[in-house]
Structure 1
Amino acid sequence: MRKEAETISNLKDLRYETNEEKARAYFINLSTHLEKKQHIFTLKKDFNIWKKKHINQFSLVSIYLNKKNVNSTDYQHYIQWLDKKGKLNEYLDRSISYIYMRDIGRALYKSETKKKVHHSIKNMRKTLLSDREDVNSSFNPFRMVETYRWAQKEGVEESLIWVLEKLQEITATIPEELDPTETRRKLTKIIGGVVIQELDEMEANISSEDRASRLSRAIRLGFAYGITYPFIDDILDSSLLTDEEKKDYASIIRITLRTGVVPELTGWLQTYPFMRYVHSELRGAFEYIRTQHSATAWESFLEQSFVFFQSQEEDRDKNLAIKTYSNEDLYVPIILKSASSRLIVRSLVEAPENQQISEQTFYYGIYNQLADDFADMFTDMEEGSVTPYTYYIRYHKQRDDLINPFEMYWTVISYLLHHVYRSDDKTREVILSRAINGLKRFKKKWGKEKYDEVMELLAFDSKLNQIIQRMVKKATEVEFLDKLLRDHVIDDLKKEQKEVNTFKDSVKDIRNQINNILPLLRSDAPSLFLDSITEAANYSLQGGGKRLRPIMTWVMAVKEYKMDPITIEPLLKSLEYMHTASLIYDDLPAQDNASIRRGRSTLHEVYNVATAELTGIFLTQKAVSSQAKLRGYDSDSVLELIYYSSKAAAEMCKGQAMDLDSRGKLLTVDELSEMCFYKTGIGFEASLIMPAILAGVNEAEKESLKRFAKHAGIAFQIKDDILDVEGQSKQIGKNTKQDMLHHNATFVSVLGVNGAKKALWDHYCNALEALQGLKLNSSFLKYLLDYVINRTN
């Protein structure tokens, strides 16, 4: 076994050397073109052809895109504006053609590629121009509703739910040094890239079953490959580990890729909890990839992964303080890593052997890498990273032999256009547009002064530089959808993280306010008896709890309807009194017979059944009397609210009766949904509708809120059913496995865990879709739903 592992390891080293020789030969070829200045003449000709389409005296597009920020509203308006001006098809053609060339390795002059691009344009156009009623519901390709509806259509919900749970777990676990937001963006992008590659390889007449199977596999493979970025690259690039620890960790990765076997953790790695988690996740991902591939495909994956890792390590080990790196030292590793990172994806989906695509992918990679290194040069300088740009900036005055990386970049462009892509017009259009767009974005990000300084340093031919700078200043219609979406996603993720933090802080503050007003005072009336009923009620009220219902009411009343927080306190108390009463009844021996609630013994366990029953009645009446204390509102509205509240309480009793009657019976999903609506959805509905009644909103808005509450309530109950199976009593704060013990019908018992999760996400989407017609001031209800989906108790 050891000899076999050594043989495999030696073979990997040999293959790395073969790939390295190929990269060296490519570098020498590029260097020869650069030295002979062959690129200068051809690029001037290319720009003369290209500029006819891109140089105009006046362009609203250019003005529009020079705005300082592009938010979600701008994004939607921009797409609509392009369509109105008849420019959307051209924009999509440029953008999608670039994706086919960069991510899939296709040649744009091929008739097959042209057909695929044309088909993709039609689909993307239809998606982007989906009718929406208002800005709040404008299309966002990364919105969870659209993503999940796509998964339903393709039959891949289980894989999507699985990967969303993994993303949630990883971003909640990794330390801040690894940037959880950027990790989430990167992983999403990589998963999407693998799915795109798989879609491209599918035959037109594939069955829906095979299509779903391959897409599910691609989603999971994308995740398995994607986590190497935060868990290998980002960790080795960060300050999370010491230099010695990084060497140990890199050694484990290298051994794994050489032998195909994941070694056990030893030494400090075994005692570091986060690294144990990382090792476990990577081992699982590695094994999943292995089981999904034939022996040949597995070897291809290991080979490309080893080439990628080894070349990246060579780059990572470089020190900007060392003055003696050769041009080969600087460029050969980036040729290797940029090519292998894309070839890995082809091996992941077991794309059929295609020499032309492999060659195009190999030659193309450095173009993209040099563009990225240019964009990141200032950040790389600050971090002391060695790239062709940072090294040239540091040592170009001392070393005349160093290749100007900006000239190498344009040499690569010329080589690709005329030696790889056959001087194809479409390829020229896409690559030159991308290059000029990159310079425009750099200039916008760092400012004109910094940009001019960089260009003065990197200029290599005065005439060509004048042409390039004129294009940067004057050229229009060089924008790409993926860049717009990238900016949009980054802004969205940052905004979302900020809003999530605000949501959590608000919930905590509101919960504390509610907890302070809930305790009931003992009666002042003289009595020979202890006020045990008030004591029992306070025991139940002081047991903690999420306080979701009064929190929802507070947000709707204060944030949406601008009510005075003091005046709605009676309403907040009434909701929690009513909810606590329902829990007391649920826990009774005649019903759920629970011994734990909110992490403490249930009321009937501490006192007795009779006291618990009386306390439930007591709290119900306290709820009604609290509502009657509402002041400063129209009396008819208060009466309507009390009537609605009484009706809701009666319907919740019906729900509990349905639950009791269903014990030991087989229920349909529709019957379960109805029961859950009465048990939980009604409570959610009341929390939204009662402040709406006081605010005097129209019936249409109330109906939308009711639809939201119905689906949110059912989703909440489904999550409870899932936690009852998957959760732990200590974490959840109540007995688990109770439904199984009492033979209760649940979404899990009827649909299974995976089926229940699909139903949960379907109701999540239905709830959010119910809000589309509402112009809400905050995103509270959206984040409330996210909490319902992701909560652990």
Structure 2
Amino acid sequence: MDRMNKELHENAKTCYRRAEQNAAHYFKKLHEQVKHKTYEPTITKDIQAWKHIHIHHPWLSLFSRTKGKSNSHGFKNYIQWLDHTGKLDNYLDRSISYIFMRDLGKSLRSSDTQARILHVVSNLKRQLTDSSHKKDEPFSMMSLYRKAQQEGIELTVIWVMNKLKMVSENIPEGMDATHAQRKIIKIIAGVLMTEIEEMDGNISPKERVRRLDHAIRLGYSYGLTYPFIDDLLDAKILSEQEEKQYTEWIRTALITGDVPGMDDWQGKNKELIRYIYRELKGAFDYIKSRQRQEKRQLFFEQAFVFYHSQEVDRVKDLSNGSYTNEELYIPVILKSSSSRLIVRSLINAAEDEEIDNRTFYYGIYNQLADDFADMFDDMEDGAVTPYTYYMKYHDTRLDLINPYELYWTVISNLIHRVYHSDKKSREVILDRAINGLKRFKERMGTKKYNQVMELFASGDPEFNRLIQKMVQKADDVDFFDKLLRDHIITNLKNDQMEKEDFLNTVDKVRTQINHVLYIPHNEKNPLMKDTIVDAANYSLEGDGKRLRPIMTWVMGVNEYGLDPSAMEPLLKSLEYMHTASLIFDDLPSQDNASIRRGRPTLHEVYNSAIAELTALFLTQRATLEQASLDQFDSSAVLSLIRYSAKRTEDMCKGQAMDLNSKGKQMTLEQLNTMCFYKTGIAFEAALIMPAILAHAEESEIEALKKYARHAGIAFQIKDDLLDVDGDLHLLGKPIGKDASNNNSTFVSILGTENAQKAMWEHYCIALEALQKLPRNIPFLKHLMDYIVHRER
């Protein structure tokens, strides 16, 4: 075994040396061009030809730049402005062309590639300008699920959304959860796009679904390496000993093809590593299982080159002033090219030497652009990149290559030696280069930008003046992927803030509600033993979610501006009514439950008669509280009580349907109806009662009713799923109860997978109903997220 391991390690070293030699050969060519500044006349000529498309008359340019700032006001507004001004087609064309070059290694001279770009642009434009989805949030969970339905990959998307949620929740402090999610999503999109481009036009629908499913799972598996290897090691969260053990584990897995155990982990981050190990091992095993035998070795070689080149860079110390140009740039060439070369071997794509070569040569362009954009963050972190190293040592190390000059050398090399002076390739690459400088200047400010240019671009003032003129005056050089990136980051951050606000609101309001639910004893008649009151308080003291009164508080106080203290009786009434329904539900004559809210049910503590009386007592107490809403006009209160009484009738009918269905097979339609009467009605009441008090418009009430109906059904489906595979300790009640009672559930009728699909369908319909409201209510959106993701 030792001999075999030694051979495998030697093979890995040989593989890396071979890759290193190719990178060194490429770097040597670039170095020669930098030394002789051959890029300057070439790029100058290119820009002179290019600028005629992008430099307009002064008044037109001023107007265009002013209008172009619409991108700062939102994704949709900018797309609408581009469409209105007739610029959307060119904008999308250069954006998709760039992605085909960067991510797919395609040549824009190919007529097949141009046809594919045209097809993608046409579809994307149709989606972006579809007026029927004006209120839809692009790339939200709802829109992604709707797209998944069109492709027949709903379960795959459900799986990956759950995975991304878990990753976000397990990102340790000191790392960026938003960045982690975005990076994984980007990798998934890249793998998915590569797979789609590899598909034959005659592929069957069933095979297409299979390959899309694998591409998403492979993309997630590969994408995990960024937060859980690259970012984790960069964040310096692990101790020195932990880092050594962790990197050795990864290295061994890539060299041997087998994941070593981690039972002997030593260090304070054991729980974090246990989760990461489980996820990465699952990802590694999945990738390995999808590799064809003839591709597996290539994948592991490329993965090792990628990982080792990152490690070579990671251990560099900015205080070390003796790194050679080769030491600075060769790992950059290796990691930037191999990260994308891996994708083709990941999906078992057919060998294509031209694509591989273009991908190899293109990588450093992208990496130098990224390093330029991040140079100040990298300098603050003490990271060694070509830019940070040059910034620190350019005065004392005259031999150092200026990375900015190398960047333009790479651009010249790509345009004329890789893409053979193709006009469209030149157009897209120069668009991207000028856009990168414009974005950097906007982000850093003019003063800091000029300081950067003084350092990096002073070697040729004339060339720099030309570039700065383009940065100042050129229009139509922005890209969809950058807009989308900014949009996703903004959405993820906003989503996280809204989620935190949602959770804070839930905790705050739940605490307030818990403080007012207690029912005092009858002090007027000390001889009467208040058993019913004690029993009621016992039921109310359980670990309830209080979702319904929380929903009412949010709608009444936050959305309609009602007085919180005036709303208090309504909040109590809702929880009294809900608790009463649970007591009835748990009785031996009904579900015969022994545990509720983590404690013995009421009839187990007292007896069935007391439980029945307590439930009746709470329903009457709820009506009493509603009649105490004396700070609202009497007609609204009367309407509310009438509405409440009708809904209580309906809930009783729903429970009767449930009892009559015991041991019988129900249809899906019957189950949906029963579920609405049992669960959806309570959700509806929580939203409609404050709307009645606030005299909301009928159209708004109807939209809220639709939301509540589908939220309630989704809630019940999740309950049924949790009854199959939930956690007893988290749920606070036994699992498997429905099956033992032979109850019809969404799982028993549809099966687990179709029940999940049904839950997400109701999720989408509920959120679509919110779009008809005259106000944006993030709480209700996050309530739906909570419903489908909850564990109790």
> Structure 2 length as normaliser, TM-score?
0.97
Q: Which residue of 2 aligns with 1:465?
A: 464
Alignment RMSD: 1.5
For structure 2, the 5+ residue unaligned runs are none
- Are 2:242 and 2:267, in contact at CA under 8 Å, matched by a contact in 1? no
Q: SS of the counterpart of 1:70?
A: helix
Question: Which of 292, 303, 308 in structure 2 is aligned with 1:310?
Answer: 308
- Are 1:190 and 1:226, in contact at CA under 8 Å, matched by a contact in 2? yes
Q: Which residue of 1 aligns with 2:496?
A: 497
* Alpha-carbon distance in 1 for matches of 2:738, 2:401: 71
For structure 1, the 5+ residue unaligned runs are none
Partner letter of residue 84 of structure 1?
A: H
Q: Which residue of 1 aligns with 2:552?
A: 553
**Equivalent residue runs for 1:602-613 within 5 Å:** 602-613=601-612
Label 1:270 to 1:675 Cα distance change in 2 as closer, same or farther (>3 A): farther
Q: SS of the counterpart of 2:25?
A: helix
- Are 2:700 and 2:774, in contact at CA under 8 Å, matched by a contact in 1? no
Q: Which residue of 1 aligns with 2:224?
A: 227
- Are 1:364 and 1:416, in contact at CA under 8 Å, matched by a contact in 2? yes
Is 1:252 the equivalent of 2:262?
no
* Alpha-carbon distance in 2 for matches of 1:714, 1:562: 29
* Alpha-carbon distance in 2 for matches of 1:790, 1:647: 31
The one-character-per-residue Cα deviations of 1:560-590 (angstroms, maximum 9, x if unpaired) are 1111111111111111111000000011011
Deviation at 1:268, TM superposition (A): 3.6
- Are 2:727 and 2:791, in contact at CA under 8 Å, matched by a contact in 1? no
Is 1:507 the equivalent of 2:506?
yes
- Are 1:560 and 1:777, in contact at CA under 8 Å, matched by a contact in 2? no
Q: Which residue of 2 aligns with 1:530?
A: 529
- Are 1:70 and 1:488, in contact at CA under 8 Å, matched by a contact in 2? no
* Alpha-carbon distance in 2 for matches of 1:317, 1:525: 78
Q: SS of the counterpart of 1:686?
A: helix
Deviation at 1:12, TM superposition (A): 2.4
* Alpha-carbon distance in 1 for matches of 2:617, 2:630: 23
Task: Choose 704-713 or 56-65, whichever is displaced more.
Answer: 56-65
Q: SS of the counterpart of 2:543?
A: coil
Q: Which residue of 1 aligns with 2:413?
A: 415
> Structure 1 length as normaliser, TM-score?
0.97
Label 1:540 to 1:207 Cα distance change in 2 as closer, same or farther (>3 A): same
Deviation at 1:387, TM superposition (A): 0.7
- Are 1:62 and 1:477, in contact at CA under 8 Å, matched by a contact in 2? no
Is 1:131 the equivalent of 2:131?
yes
Partner letter of residue 93 of structure 1?
A: D
Q: SS of the counterpart of 1:566?
A: helix
* Alpha-carbon distance in 1 for matches of 2:497, 2:36: 53
Q: SS of the counterpart of 1:176?
A: coil
Q: Which residue of 1 aligns with 2:567?
A: 568
Q: Which residue of 1 aligns with 2:188?
A: 191
Q: Which residue of 2 aligns with 1:70?
A: 72
Q: SS of the counterpart of 1:239?
A: coil
Task: Choose 438-447 or 50-59, whichever is displaced more.
Answer: 50-59
The one-character-per-residue Cα deviations of 1:463-509 (angstroms, maximum 9, x if unpaired) are 11111010011111111011111111111111111111111111111
Deviation at 1:197, TM superposition (A): 1.0
- Are 1:51 and 1:475, in contact at CA under 8 Å, matched by a contact in 2? yes
The one-character-per-residue Cα deviations of 1:83-121 (angstroms, maximum 9, x if unpaired) are 111110010001111111111111111111100100011
Is 1:31 the equivalent of 2:34?
no
Question: Which of 146, 149, 155 in structure 2 is aligned with 1:149?
Answer: 146
Q: Which residue of 2 aligns with 1:164?
A: 161
* Alpha-carbon distance in 2 for matches of 1:521, 1:493: 46
Q: Which residue of 2 aligns with 1:201?
A: 198
Task: Choose 722-731 or 106-115, whichever is displaced more.
Answer: 722-731
- Are 1:171 and 1:183, in contact at CA under 8 Å, matched by a contact in 2? yes
Deviation at 1:4, TM superposition (A): 4.3
How many percent of aligned residue pairs carry the same amino acid? Answer: 54
- Are 1:719 and 1:788, in contact at CA under 8 Å, matched by a contact in 2? yes
The one-character-per-residue Cα deviations of 1:667-717 (angstroms, maximum 9, x if unpaired) are 222222111111100100111111111222222111111110011000111
Deviation at 1:437, TM superposition (A): 0.6
Deviation at 1:22, TM superposition (A): 0.6
Is 1:210 the equivalent of 2:207?
yes
Q: How many residues align?
A: 787
Label 1:145 to 1:423 Cα distance change in 2 as closer, same or farther (>3 A): same
Q: Which residue of 1 aligns with 2:668?
A: 669
Q: Which residue of 2 aligns with 1:763?
A: 762
Q: Which residue of 2 aligns with 1:289?
A: 287
Task: Choose 626-635 or 384-393, whichever is displaced more.
Answer: 626-635
Partner letter of residue 47 of structure 1?
A: I
* Alpha-carbon distance in 2 for matches of 1:468, 1:761: 51
- Are 1:307 and 1:340, in contact at CA under 8 Å, matched by a contact in 2? yes
**Equivalent residue runs for 1:633-644 within 5 Å:** 633-644=632-643
* Alpha-carbon distance in 1 for matches of 2:322, 2:254: 30
Task: Choose 443-452 or 168-177, whichever is displaced more.
Answer: 168-177
Structure 1 runs of 4+ off > 6 angstroms?
none
* Alpha-carbon distance in 2 for matches of 1:585, 1:668: 25
Q: Which residue of 2 aligns with 1:112?
A: 112
Partner letter of residue 30 of structure 2?
A: L
Partner letter of residue 72 of structure 2?
A: V
* Alpha-carbon distance in 2 for matches of 1:704, 1:522: 41
Deviation at 1:141, TM superposition (A): 2.5
Partner letter of residue 584 of structure 1?
A: I
Task: Choose 433-442 or 235-244, whichever is displaced more.
Answer: 235-244
Deviation at 1:754, TM superposition (A): 1.9
Q: Which residue of 2 aligns with 1:406?
A: 404
* Alpha-carbon distance in 2 for matches of 1:694, 1:746: 36
**Equivalent residue runs for 1:447-466 within 5 Å:** 447-459=445-457, 460-466=459-465
Partner letter of residue 63 of structure 1?
A: T
Q: Which residue of 2 aligns with 1:431?
A: 429
- Are 1:23 and 1:332, in contact at CA under 8 Å, matched by a contact in 2? yes
- Are 2:239 and 2:267, in contact at CA under 8 Å, matched by a contact in 1? no
* Alpha-carbon distance in 2 for matches of 1:186, 1:221: 14
- Are 1:652 and 1:679, in contact at CA under 8 Å, matched by a contact in 2? yes
* Alpha-carbon distance in 2 for matches of 1:549, 1:265: 45
Q: SS of the counterpart of 1:401?
A: coil
Label 1:648 to 1:548 Cα distance change in 2 as closer, same or farther (>3 A): same
Deviation at 1:66, TM superposition (A): 4.5
Partner letter of residue 390 of structure 2?
A: Y
Partner letter of residue 40 of structure 1?
A: E
The one-character-per-residue Cα deviations of 1:435-465 (angstroms, maximum 9, x if unpaired) are 1111111111111111000101001312111
Partner letter of residue 153 of structure 2?
A: V
